[in-house]
């Protein structure tokens, strides 16, 4: 049985992902001012804090991640967001709006990164070590940023909603939203994110799409 010392609890409480923003990420954050989300107000997302490292909720989330069945193939399949949605379009013989999807992904990245560094939550694997827990993590290149919100969940729902509306007449909403959920869920299966990261990301993705919904085709 693992015994927590006062020093250990303090370390868990103060644990962060990083002490500084990577230069390439800082450039993407600055780029938001010139993109389609330049007037998007996300102050409320800056104020909505993740569960504390030392909280029972975070501990239970880590325990939950331990119970998930490993599926490396599914995780890797869902890692490339654009490819996932392009496959859905190909399956149903509709033209994939590649240029627009890439723009939405690129322009939204800075907001996600800004929030990630604002909250600076450590990834589950980092915190799990301090709790003396073992997590069967799938190592991905897309896991090198702070944890909250989940960028995959944010962009999965953002693109899923956009495509569901665009191909509304083709009645593909269920397919696109299933893909969005799969992308989001895959990050928990990878142990890359806590469930609260994914929930927060979905909330952000829905609000981002609501912001651009009425103007996206006219302006861009």
Q: Residue 104 sits in which domain range?
A: 22-219
Residue 73 lies in a domain: yes
Distances (CA, A) of 66 to 63, 135, 153: 5, 6, 20
pTM of the model: 0.92
Residue range 168-193, pLDDT digits in tens:
887 899 999 999 999 999 999 999 99
Residue 102 lies in a domain: yes
What is the per-residue pLDDT for 151? 98
Asked if residues 49 and 7 have their Cβ atoms less than 8 Å apart, the reply is no
Q: How far apart are the first and last CA of the chain?
A: 58
Q: Which residues in the chain show pLDDT less than 70?
A: 1-7, 215-220
Residue range 131-164, pLDDT digits in tens:
989 988 788 888 889 999 999 999 999 999 999 9
Residue 5 lies in a domain: no
Show the tokens assigned to 206: 């829905």
Residue 3 lies in a domain: no
* Euclidean distance between CA atoms 31 and 26, whole angstroms: 9
- CATH number for the domain harbouring residue 199: 1.20.144.10
Residues in contact with 97: Cβ distance below 8 Å, sequence separation at least 6, in sequence order: 163, 166
**134, 132, 135: which is closest to 5 by C-alpha?**
132
CB atoms within 10 A of CB 174: 9
Residue 116 lies in a domain: yes
- Domain count of the chain? 1
């Amino acid at each position: 049985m693992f015994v927590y010392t006062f020093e250990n609890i303090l370390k868990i409480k103060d644990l962060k992902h990083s002490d500084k923003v990577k230069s390439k990420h800082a450039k993407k954050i600055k780029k938001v001012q010139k993109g389609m989300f330049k007037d998007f107000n996300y102050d409320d997302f800056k104020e909505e804090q993740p569960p504390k490292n030392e909280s029972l909720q975070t501990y239970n989330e880590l325990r939950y991640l331990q119970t998930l069945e490993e599926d490396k193939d599914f995780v890797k399949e869902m890692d490339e967001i654009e490819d996932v949605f392009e496959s859905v379009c190909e399956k149903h013989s509709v033209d994939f709006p590649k240029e627009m999807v890439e723009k939405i992904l690129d322009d939204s990245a800075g907001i996600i990164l800004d929030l990630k560094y604002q909250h600076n939550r450590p990834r589950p694997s980092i915190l799990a070590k301090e709790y003396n827990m073992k997590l069967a993590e799938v190592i991905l290149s897309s896991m090198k940023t702070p944890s909250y919100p989940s960028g995959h969940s944010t962009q999965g729902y953002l693109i899923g909603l956009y495509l569901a509306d665009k191909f509304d007449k083709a009645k593909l909403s269920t397919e696109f939203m299933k893909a969005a959920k799969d992308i989001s869920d895959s990050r928990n299966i990878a142990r890359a994110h806590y469930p609260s990261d994914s929930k927060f990301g979905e909330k952000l993705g829905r609000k981002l799409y609501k912001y651009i919904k009425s103007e996206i085709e006219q302006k861009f």
